[in-house]
Amino acid sequence: MSIAYITDAQMLKKTRIERHPRLNFWRLSTNINFSDFDIGDLLFFLSKDREYLKKGEKGIIGFGRCAGFKVASPQHMWRVYKEENGYSSKEEFFSALKRSQKDRMLPERISAIYLEDVLFLQMPIYLSECGMNISPRTESYIYLDKEVPLKILKYAKDRLDFWSSHEDADKVIEKEIRRIILKQAAEDAGDLPLPANELQLLQRRAKSFQKQHPDYLFLDPQHTILCSIDQKTEILFPKDRRIDRRFWLGQRALYQEKLDFEPEYRVYDKECEEL
């Protein structure tokens, strides 16, 4: 599920000007246990700055795809991610952290959501345009309604800031649209009706494959079905000789029905691939 996070535009300024495709989106809270947000999901930047307000409503000015989570000291965050934290120097980064603290002291630890394929918009997108209303008092983040991320991405096609966004921005949006369609198909399919021992077997195989191929992301909350969207779309169903291969036919038909293009399905099993 995607989230919209209240963001200070100053934090995004360097990333935007220098066209960095990655951002270590830091947070003062050290709690990274989102109830429904995972690697592969989108984080939208919801700006609280006056220039992006419309009748008091905050506007979305960009987004990125979650690639990981981390909790560490500010010193470690700068040593590892440097300017990807959104600032030109360690001093600027630490100063921003102190300003965000009530006691104006540098926190011992912070958390971060590492984002890839970061893109920015020339004109904000407002959630009210997408059929969703939020309270003006929202100060952290909100989960977006199921149909909203797809609407935002379609609006984003015409509102991209081509100065700030890299040359493959259009392709990134198309990939994310396809990924969201597939994830919605996985939600519609529901949990796999398998005994616990068989489900755990498939999960182990899928997770083992994903560790070796991080460009593949999970589609379903059970972490069994993977997809890769690059030059072509591949959907991977983990297989085992103890589970009837016909089990996946209904799943494949559902994904095909949801797509408005012809993806290339590749079904991996233990004999032909690492699963």
Take residue 248 and report the two structure tokens written for it.
Answer: 């996946």
Residue 274: its pLDDT value, please? 40
- Written as tens digits, the pLDDT of the chain (275 aa) is 899 998 877 778 888 888 888 999 998 888 877 888 888 899 999 988 888 888 889 999 999 999 999 999 999 999 999 999 999 999 999 999 999 888 899 999 999 999 999 999 999 999 999 999 888 777 788 999 989 999 999 999 999 887 766 678 888 898 898 888 888 888 877 777 788 888 888 888 888 888 888 888 888 888 888 888 876 778 888 777 777 777 777 777 777 777 655 444 454 443 334 43
Question: In order of start, what are the domains of the chain with their CATH numbers?
Answer: 3-167 (2.30.130.30), 168-275 (no CATH)
Q: Counting Cβ atoms within 10 Å, is residue 124 exposed (0-12), middle (13-18) or buried (19+)? A: buried
CA–CA gap between residue 190 and residue 263 (Å, rounded): 21
Q: How many CA atoms lie within 13 A of 48 on its CB side?
A: 14
CA–CA gap between residue 32 and residue 27 (Å, rounded): 9
The model carries a pTM of 0.83
Residue 259: its pLDDT value, please? 65
Residue 236: its pLDDT value, please? 82
Strand pairing partners for 233? Answer: 229
Residue 125: its pLDDT value, please? 96
